Amino acid sequence: MYKLITFKQIGRIEIGFLSFFESNQNIPFEIKRIYYTYYVPVGTKRGGHAHRELNQLLWCPYGKINVILDDGKGKKEFLLDSPEKGLLVGKGIWHDMYWIKENSVLCVAASDYYNESDYIRDYNNFLKLVKEGYWKDENKL
């Protein structure tokens, strides 16, 4: 499951804006970890994996990052180019991120602590798990 969401924007041009999100309100999981990626050279590709159980919200407070999501049946592209945009990426979604603008920052709110064994970094293994129905409950997030 994946979904683009738009955060509420509070403020006005003269003083700037504030956006927010809350666990189990507009984000359908409890947040246990926040991490962020920065000083990434333009043209870099990161990601190249799916998660077994982890659900995440990605947002780009500054810059432009292209995110390609793949559920094993098809791919979809999302441009994170505004601090109002958030991209929910559920478990079982292969994701690649491409840095398009200098100094872009990718922030992520995750449903669990870091655990390398939750990563699937081999694409053929990912496709095999999709075929076997490993994420048959994916729509529940």
Neighbour count for residue 1 (Cβ, 10 Å): 17
Does 38 bind ligand T46 (CB under 6 A)? Our answer is no
CA distance 115 to 103: 27
Residue 95 appears among annotated catalytic residues:
no
Query: Rounded CA gap, 56 and 72, in Å?
Result: 18
User: Where does this chain touch ligand T46 (CB under 6 A) — which range of 15-23, 24-32, 33-41, 77-85?
Assistant: 33-41
The answer to the question of residue 46 lying near ligand T46 (CB under 6 A) is: yes
Return the closest-CA partner of residue 124 out of 50, 62, 74.
Answer: 50
# of chain residues touching ligand T46 (CB under 6 A):
9
84 versus 96: smaller Cβ distance to ligand T46:
96
Q: Would you state the structure tokens that stand for residue 135, as one six-digit string?
A: 């994420």
Q: Which residues of this chain interact with ligand T46, rule CB under 6 A?
A: 33, 35, 37, 46-47, 56, 58, 108, 114
